[in-house]
Amino acid sequence: MNIKRKLLCLLLTLIVVLTSCNLPDFNVETESGSESADKNDSVSNAACGNHTDTDDDGKCDVCDLSVIVYVDLYAINDLHGKLCTTDTNVGVEGLTTYLKNAMETDDHAVLLSSGDMWQGGAESNLTSGLIITDWMNELDFAAMTLGNHEFDWGEEKIEENATLAEFPLLAINVYDRATNERVEYCSPSVIVDLGYIQIGIIGAIGDCYSSISSDKTEDIYFKVGSELTNLIKNESERLRRIGADYIVYSVHDGYGRSSGSTVQIGSGAISSYYDLSLSEGYVDLVFEAHTHKNYVMVDSHGVYHIQGGGDNRGLSHVEVKINAANGNSGVNEAEYVSSSNYAALEEDEVVDKLLEKYSDDISKSNLVVGMNDNTRSSSEIKQLVAKLYYETGFAEWGDKYDIVLGGGFMSVRSPYSLPTGEVTYGLLNTLLPFDNQIVLCSIKGRDLKNKFLETNNDNYYIHLGEYGEQIKDQINDNDTYYVIVDTYSAFYAPNNLTVVAEYDPNIFARDLVADYISNGGWTAKK
């Protein structure tokens, strides 16, 4: 009878232990601590509320099972619409396969973006980003932080993409000027529920005003500096209160240099975009963007900062180890994954499906506009645009105004040069993706000299007309002169330009270059 009672007591004790942990079947780590084939097999149900790990050895104090959860975080930044592989850039065909494999083989994988996803590639430009948003839906992105180039087509296009997106657009610091409330198409954060671990993601855009045509931000403003820091801290505290175990900060801003290995970074180096006090328990990991650099950095509080280059040259990957019982966490691995790891993978059918879906919208991208007989550098393209601005403006308004020059701030995007051979409209759209309208502006002489004729800004290109050549050395500070620029230069307040007249709102720099090439402008005369 005593033996039966002892056996019964032992059985009851075992039932109590198993019930207190509320765990169904799972694998236990071996005595050597090695993991099973699936690194999260032993913790598939480890986050029941009754687990404890007071000695922080990674095992439940009661049942001795592992309470460690591994989470793989993948971040893409500054894709710039590079959907399709071309002679000059890597598309997302292999990247799709790489990420799908990662997501399908790991229930604890999270995919996010740190901004500038839409503007750049011809297919994306011609659909105002919708084709990229659809691609992100297919890959089950958890969130996308807004970047400065998301605003290139105005808020209306952001709202269209937000409606299509099956994930939230994040920007905790974008506010409506009229209401002083956060804009409705953005969320401050999102919690990703992995079943037993909750990952909080907070998104913000950096102080990127100078990278956005000011007419696109007339109705909104960004909270930056200490205001942004306070927003992040408050949101982090809120997320932790409602169950977030780990806080990821996705910011569209970043450090200005690449690094081939993990480096320690001082507070001064990142202070222009990141307040180090955020690393004092508010933020556990930072994914960065905007500067198109690739690096893995660790700040003085041990928080990792990582960026994955730009234009699909790579992505960021971080494996995080989280103790589901006591909340302790750390970075197991942080790496920049070069596109060489996925560019040659078997192409997933998703891209072809999207190209078919949007075929009517993107058909213009394959139109051959003409031939180019020599490689054209970024500088040569920008100088041509300045010349075409002048010629277009002079033809339109030259009979009423003495026009000095054409030009202004010029930007050519990746691949930054025009190769020899056939030129498609899609390639020109990629090189010159901005929808900045051509305008006639008035300007005072002192600003004409300081901002255009004598500027030290290497991004300003000008083409003097006949009248401009005659008077360039006789500019009077207080006299009024006329120039042809686009709306980016026109609305940049320090230029002190006043718009006098507007050209066709559907004609942009790339269209002028397309006509120029179509008429044999870059083909040697025989």
Let me know: does 403 contact 503? Beta carbons within 8 Å.
no
* pLDDT band at 64; cut points 50, 70, 90: confident
Let me know: does 481 contact 488? Beta carbons within 8 Å.
no
Per-residue confidence (pLDDT) for residue 155, from 0 to 100: 96
113/475 Cα distance (integer angstroms): 49
Model confidence pLDDT, tens digit, residues 221-232: 999 999 999 999
For range 138-153, the mean pLDDT: 97
Length of the chain: 526
Does the pLDDT value for residue 88 go beyond 90? no
Per-residue confidence (pLDDT) for residue 10, from 0 to 100: 46
* SS3 call for 419: coil
Does the pLDDT value for residue 193 go beyond 60? yes
Contacts 24+ apart (CB under 8 A), 391-395: 392/438, 392/484, 392/503, 392/507, 392/512, 393/438, 393/440, 393/484, 393/503, 394/465, 394/484
Give the CATH superfamily of 367-518.
5'-Nucleotidase, C-terminal domain (3.90.780.10)
For range 334-344, the mean pLDDT: 96
How many helical (H) and strand (E) elements, i.e. helices and strands, does the chain have? Answer: 15, 22
For range 322-338, the mean pLDDT: 94
For range 446-471, the mean pLDDT: 97
Instruction: Identify the CATH assignment for 73-360 out of 3.40.47.10, 3.40.50.10800, 3.60.21.10, 3.30.565.10.
Output: 3.60.21.10
* pLDDT band at 449; cut points 50, 70, 90: very high
First to last CA, the chain: 112
511/364 Cα distance (integer angstroms): 12
Burial of 276 (0-12, 13-18, 19+ CB in 10 A): middle
Per-residue confidence (pLDDT) for residue 49, from 0 to 100: 55
Q: Which of 51, 83, 54, 80 is nearest to 196 (CA)?
A: 51
Tokens 């950095």, located at residue:
297
Strands, E assignment, 299-344: 304-308, 314-323, 329-338
126/120 Cα distance (integer angstroms): 10
List the domain boundaries for the chain: 1-66, 73-360, 367-518
Q: Report the largest interatomic distance among the alpha carbons of the chain, rounded to a whole angstrom.
A: 118
* pLDDT band at 242; cut points 50, 70, 90: very high
* pLDDT band at 42; cut points 50, 70, 90: low
Let me know: does 144 contact 115? Beta carbons within 8 Å.
yes
Tokens 């905790």, located at residue:
172
Per-residue confidence (pLDDT) for residue 39, from 0 to 100: 63
Let me know: does 309 contact 291? Beta carbons within 8 Å.
no
